[in-house]
Amino acid sequence: MTSPLPPAVRPARAASVSDGATAARSAIRAKGLTRRFQSEDRVVEALRGIDLDVRVGEAVAVMGRSGAGKSTLLNLIGALDRGYGGELQVFGQEVRLLPDRALARFRNRQIGFVFQAFNLLPNLSVGDNILLPGSFGTDLDDVELRARARRLLGEMDLADRFDQRPMQMSGGERQRVAIARALLLEPPLLVCDEPTGSLDGHTARQILRVLQDIRTRFGTTLVLVTHDPSVAAMADRVVTLDRGLLLDPAATEAAP
């Protein structure tokens, strides 16, 4: 693969981060974070008091068995769910306090999502899938968005696929399209839920190289949920969840 991103693509500055040193050093800060769900006649505690500090530009892998709370944590960090207890700040913004429209804008501009299942719309072309984030509250015009989409697709070695349908592509190609979509608005945070989980070993390594390059060239903060030790190996830190608890609370402290 060629270099996955052109020099013109840079993570956007987080709108809610002040110029103070304390705010600038933390992309994510959780304290006493809890999440409970009602399941028939009982309450399920998916997260039970998580303390986590992720620095700007850091890559953190979240591991644990199925049902440990990994996806719940990712959904909270990604501002897809705000029914939590405790505190959760993303780029200095307490997610729970944002009104609906402000939350949608914050999520769209500050956070990119990469999922195991790709989540591409089969009835849209590859190009239109990449352009989707630009449909929700951006100041960029259509010409600029299309230029970015084509540039990103070219940097993913898929320049000739703009008008193709996702189902005509391999799993690795679709994941690269999903990454391009996540980067369209140049978010400073990428959250990835099993980004290599459905890929073969060779293709998974390609995707990891893309993610590593994004992070090292542009200081993008990465939070990755994974079962794969090779994915975890690319991170600065690994945090392990078990039944809603961090197994080693000391491991959640960001390195100096």
Which of 195, 187, 180 minimizes the C-alpha distance to 107?
187
Q: How far apart are CA 211 and CA 168, in angstroms?
A: 23
The count of other CB atoms within 10 Å of the CB of residue 81 is 16
Element (H, E) at 10: none
Q: Is residue 207 part of a domain?
A: yes
Q: Return mean pLDDT, the chain.
A: 84
Give the CA angle between residues 253, 230, 69 to the nearest 5°.
55
Distances (CA, A) of 137 to 23, 30, 106, 111, 134: 25, 27, 10, 14, 7
> So what's the pLDDT on residue 137?
67
Q: Report the distance separating Cα 183 and Cα 178, nearest Å.
A: 9
Q: What is the pLDDT of residues 69-97, one digit of tens each?
A: 999 999 999 999 999 999 999 999 999 99
Edge-first strand order for the sheet with 93-94 is 42-55, 26-39, 85-90, 93-94
Residue 161 in any domain: the answer is: yes
Q: Which pLDDT score, from 0 to 100, does residue 252 have? A: 46
pLDDT at 135: 82
Give the integer Cα–Cα distance in Å for 33 and 99.
Answer: 20
CATH of the domain at 124: 3.40.50.300
Q: Considering the domain boundaries, does residue 221 fall inside one?
A: yes
pTM of the model: 0.82
Domain that holds residue 107: 21-252
- pLDDT tens-digit readout, 202-222: 888 888 888 888 888 788 999
Contacts of 37 (CB under 8 A, 6+ apart): 43, 44, 46
Query: What is the total count of domains within the chain?
Result: 1
Per-residue pLDDT at 61 exceeds 70: yes
CB neighbourhood size of 122 (10 A)? 9
Joined tokens for residue 29: 């800060």
